[in-house]
A and B are shown apart, each in its own frame.
Chain A
Amino acid sequence: MQFTHTALGRNLVRISVPALLYAILAILIIVPCCMVLYTSFVDVAPFSASRAPNFTLANFAALWRPENARALTNTLIMSVIGTAISMIFGCGMAWLAARSDIPWKPFIHLAGIMPIFVSQLIAAVAWALLASGKSAYLNMILRQLGIPLELEIESIGGMAFLLGLYFTPFPYIFLYSALTLVNPDMEESAAVHGGTTRRILGKITFPLVKPAIIGSMLLIFVFMVEDFPIPQILGFPAGIETLSIRIYSLMSTAPANPNQASAVAVFLTAIVCCLVFTQRAILKGRDYRTLTGKGAQARMIPLGKLRWFAAAFVLLYFILAVGLPLFALIQGAFRPNLFIRDLASLFDITQMTTKNFVNILNDRAVYAGLLNSLIAGGTVAVFGVGLYFIVCYVVNRTDLPGRQGLEYIAMLPLAVPGLVMALGILWTWVAVPLPIYGTILVIIVSFIGKFMPAGYRVISASMHQIHDDLEHAALVSGASRAQMVRRITLPLLRGGVVSAMFLMIIFGLRELTSSLFLYTANSRVLSIVVFEKLDDGSWSGAATVSLLYTLLLAILALVGRKYMRAAL
């Protein structure tokens, strides 16, 4: 009798742990998605309580309006061009860094990865300063040089160009790791059997890394389709709408139309889901990267005279993605106003001022925003990463019932655009009778859900590198599960956990989309401060905050680089 009792007790424990995790993930991820879906099928805002909701399909019927069709076309054109730009830069640099004798290799690698840490919001601000309107720096320089060309970044082509620049690190990282992990024996055996360099590239190397190329291509296409900050800063003022901007417009212009917005959100999510599943299907069982050798040095292909041309190509990318924007921010921050007369005055110290800095450093809103951002990032780093670790541990290292489902839910935010999640979270927490909505807490909650796929993957990857014998040896040695996790698992996973924490802080500091839907006067984060400065037309202020903001991100990235290398 006693034994059946303990067996029952053990079963209760076995069920309660996954049940609790399911409940947490449901609140963070599934309920918000359901809220959006629900709202798209009714005719009043959720929990508005003005009257009883009626079921309707009118929101979806309204999808066929011309402005939505235009938004869809804009989204697709922008994403296709953007993807092409990213793939050219990303794949080109990855191959050069991994397989050629290009000079300054460490710099090439840095140029390929670094833009991932650049905030899109800041990049958009900087490029608007560089190339929007007559007084923009690049346009002024072109005019001075007598070139009859005026750049306009506030256009579909401009947005595509920026998306292309800042998503380049994804194909770069995918292809670079694929190329370095392909066993050089495979290429060498092709050479032994008579293959020329060109034919080995085509017949052996390319097919081996094709999954990485296609996988990253679809991935960044998805990111661009659902992107919000760049179209918001550059497209919205010019009246160019993408699907994500449509959702924002429907929510932000009076009278707000949450039901229509939800229908567009559901439509956008459907597109993204299709793409994500296609990507999964293509990559399934085709990831050859595991066929790795002993880390042997791959053959480097000599570029000959093209070496310096190739280096210039990478330098061009670096200047476009990092150099010029930084230059623009500095110009914007250190000048009394945006107008610059000629080329010479760009470098005239006497025309510069620290007035903007004085203003910003006396601006309470900036401090409040910085504090909120740090609180949000820090909380996600501690509690979010803690949650990701527990979920990851349950999925990978236990035999608890239902553990596989947890992984699917944790990955779900990949297939749901950020602003759709934000909408859902907005409506979910409005209804919850806890003092969460309208505070920084709701922003933190949205971050924990949104960053889950990234955080989960970093921890899961490092967990996979630890043989479970190492844990079993502790159990055999008499350690309880808790002692084992504390003494063995966590110390061994330290690199993964720390790198996940750094990523979360950086992601948290950069985030704009969810914050924009969820912030109130008391819970502005740093990105919102920049956004509001733009809204007020204070470009100098925006540039100044952006410059400080970039400095903060750069310091974090630099400090965390050692740990994050493993994750990227």
Chain B
Amino acid sequence: MTIEIKNLRKTYGDTAAIAGINIDIAEGEMLVLLGPSGCGKTTTMRCIAGLESPDTGHIAIGGRIVYDHAQGINVPTNQRKVGMVFQSYAIWPHMTVFQNVSFPLEMANVSKSEIKRRVTDILKLVGLSGFDDRGASYLSGGQMQRVALARSLVMQPSILLFDEPLSNLDARLRDHLRVQLRELQTQLKITSVYVTHDQKEALALADKIVVMQFGHVMQEDDPVTLYHRPRTSTIADFLGYSNIFDATVTSREGNSTIVTLAANGQKMRAEGPPPEGAAGIVACARPDDIEIRKIDANASTADLPENTLVGDVLLASFIGSHMQYRIKVHDNLIWEALARDVTADIRIGTRVALTVVPRNMLLLPKE
């Protein structure tokens, strides 16, 4: 089923939780709403579910209008046939696993034998076979999450909604369930909306990501494009571009742009034309796109390659797959780098050279 959201708006008092947004979700697509808390992503999802009444706008699920302000349509939640997994799991503690999962089918007046069959099948699908009679309050967090998933799948919903479903789990379990969730969704091909503030989760799960801020849609792209081409410095920051520095355009050379870093006056080359930015521009680089190598403390800086900065290591921190470094290039210019080579002899105080290839040097409008 497709989901169509037009000009949706919801205000609480004076603040607009959603400031008139338009989103289209294609059949079988997994759309992730990504943004910091209070950006309107959860409100958007709750409007789709019908748990929240928008002020104006239009929502259609699979071509069926479920909300339209102008036509006075607002289909109650229980008639929208959406599946939803809540952040708090919302597993009913006074029921067994089976009773929790069979509830939607009972509400739909499905026959007893059919209920038994479908609940058994779905519990098997989520890996909870044999848990039927377990009291819901005796489950672990991960198990509750699976029950919640089973409960929303069993009714064969037109769409699935996920409200930060993994945020209450510990890191290992979260990674594990994330993979399973993606597998299940691609296998069942259910149109889904997933709300999260975790960029890693968003990138891993999404067919398409909608970045929201202050109730507006800031960018709408597939994960790869979003990751490599964030549209603004705020989005870049949110996506883990930890090196973001004020810069000014100095000149254009063919297909590339030369900028000067405001902090130390160093020139950097970036691919492509400079962006339009009313408030100036910033130069950004992801820490894992930076090449770091040890140099002699007294070496001349003249014969270093293009786009290379020299600085002293302030911090070296081993994080398993990478070494994380903070490097002071200038008093107001601290860079962050992630190096795959964790054995390199780079310590606090080591003089290093940082190189960013022009393709990875991103110029964005400042906000």
CB nearest neighbor in B for A478: B107
Contacts of B79 in A (CB 8 A): 478
> Given B78, B90, B94, which contacts A469 in the complex, CB threshold below 8 Å?
B90
Interface centre among A3, A475, A488, A491 (most CB of B within 10 A): A475
A contact residues around B86 at 8 Å (CB): 469, 472-473
B92 contacts partner chain A, Cβ-Cβ < 8 Å: yes
Q: Compute how far the CA of A477 lies from the CA of B95 in the bound complex, rounded to whole angstroms.
A: 15
Q: Is B125 an interface residue (CB 8 A)?
A: no
Residue interface bits A450-475, CB-to-B below 8 A is 1, else 0: 00000000000000000101101111
Is the Cβ of B107 less than 8 Å from the Cβ of A483? yes
**A479 at interface, CB cutoff 8 A:** yes
B87 beta carbon closer than 8 Å to chain A: yes
Question: Which residues of B, 131-183, contact A by the 8 Å Cβ criterion?
Answer: 148, 151-152, 155
Chain B residues numbered 79-104 whose CB sits less than 8 Å from any CB in chain A: 79-84, 86-90, 92-94, 103-104
The distance in angstroms between the C-alpha atoms of A536 and B187, with both chains bound, is: 85
Please tell me if the beta carbons of A479 and B78 are within 8 angstroms of each other in the complex.
yes
Kindly report which residue of chain B lies nearest to residue A472, judged by CB atoms.
B51
Partner of A470, one of B71, B82, B92: B92
Q: Which residues of A contact B71 (CB under 8 A)?
A: 3
- A478 pairs with B92, CB closer than 8 A: no
| Residues on the B chain within 8 Å of A6, using CB | 72
Q: Does A492 interact with chain B (Cβ within 8 Å)?
A: yes
Partner of A478, one of B72, B73, B94, B108: B108
> Is A476 interfacial (CB 8 A cutoff)?
yes
Choice from A3, A399, A476 contacting B83 with Cβ under 8 Å: A476
A475 contacts B103, C-beta separation under 8 Å: no
- The residues of B that contact A479 with a CB separation of less than 8 Å are 78, 103, 107
Tell me if B77 is interfacial: C-beta within 8 Å of chain A. Answer: yes
Q: Determine the residue in chain A with the shortest Cβ distance to B79.
A: A478
How far in angstroms is the closest Cβ of chain A from B6?
Answer: 17
B49 CB within 8 Å of chain A: yes
B84 neighbours in A (Cβ, 8 Å): 472-473, 476
Taking CB atoms and an 8 Å cut-off, the chain B residues in 38-82 that contact chain A are: 49-51, 53, 71-73, 76-82
Task: Report if A349 contacts B (CB, 8 A).
Answer: no
Question: Does A199 count as interface, using CB distance less than 8 angstroms?
Answer: no
Given the known A-B contacts A477-B151, A478-B155, are A492 and B104 also in contact in the complex, defined by CB atoms under 8 Å?
no
Q: Does A487 contact B (CB under 8 A)?
A: yes
Residues of chain A lying within 8 A (CB to CB) of residue B89: 469
Q: Is A4 an interface residue (CB 8 A)?
A: yes
Interface size on A, residues (CB 8 A): 22
Chain B residue, CB-CB nearest to A484: B78
Given A3-B72, A472-B51 in contact, is the A477-B92 Cβ separation under 8 Å? Answer: no
Given A478-B107, A487-B103, A492-B93, check contact A469 B83 (CB 8 Å): no
Contacts of A487 in B (CB 8 A): 103
- For residues 100 through 124 of chain B, which have their beta carbon under 8 Å from a beta carbon of chain A? 103-104, 107-108
Cα–Cα distance between A7 and B151 once the two chains are bound (Å): 32
For B79, B103, B152, the residue with the greatest tally of chain A CB atoms inside 10 Å of its CB is B103
Q: Is the CB of B104 within 8 A of A478?
A: yes
Least distance between B75 CB and chain A CB atoms (Å):
11
Known contacts A469-B90, A472-B86, A478-B107: does B73 contact A3 (CB below 8 Å)? yes
In the bound complex, how far is the Cα of B49 from the Cα of A467, in angstroms? 17
Contacts of A473 in B (CB 8 A): 84, 86, 90, 92, 148, 151
The reply to whether B90 and A472 form a contact with Cβ atoms under 8 Å apart is yes
User: Which residues on the A side are within 8 Å of B92 (C-beta)?
Assistant: 470, 473-474, 488, 492
Which single residue of chain B is at the shortest CB-CB distance from A8?
A: B72
A488–B99 Cα gap in the complex (Å)?
12
Q: Would you call B72 and A477 a contact (CB within 8 A)?
A: no
Closest to B99 in A: A487
Bound form: Cα–Cα A4–B155 in Å:
32
Q: Does A480 contact B (CB under 8 A)?
A: yes
Closest A residue by C-beta to B163: A469
Residues of B contacting A478 in the complex (Cβ-Cβ under 8 angstroms): 78-79, 81, 104, 107-108, 155
* B52, chain A: closest CB distance, angstroms: 10
Q: A488: which B residues are within 8 A, CB to CB? A: 92
- Set of chain A residues within 8 Å of B51, measured between Cβ atoms: 472, 475-476
Partner of B72, one of A7, A480, A483: A7
Q: Mark A474-504, 1 if CB is under 8 A from B, else 0.
A: 1111111001000110011000000000000
The CA-CA distance from A7 to B69 in the complex, in Å, is 11
Identify the closest chain B residue to A491 (Cβ): B94
Residues of A contacting B103 in the complex (Cβ-Cβ under 8 angstroms): 474, 477, 479, 487
B50 to chain A, nearest CB (A): 8
Partner of B152 from A4, A476, A483 at Cβ < 8 Å? A476
Inter-chain contacts of A480 with B (CB < 8 A):
76, 78
How far apart are the CA atoms of A487 and B95 in the complex, in Å?
10
A interface residues, Cβ below 8 angstroms from B? 3-4, 6-7, 399, 467, 469-470, 472-480, 483, 487-488, 491-492
A-B residue pairs in contact (CB < 8 Å), sample of 6: A3-B73, A399-B53, A472-B84, A475-B50, A475-B51, A475-B77
Sorted nearest first, the 10 A-B pairs with minimum C-beta distance are A477-B104, A469-B90, A3-B72, A478-B107, A473-B90, A475-B77, A469-B86, A7-B72, A476-B84, A469-B88
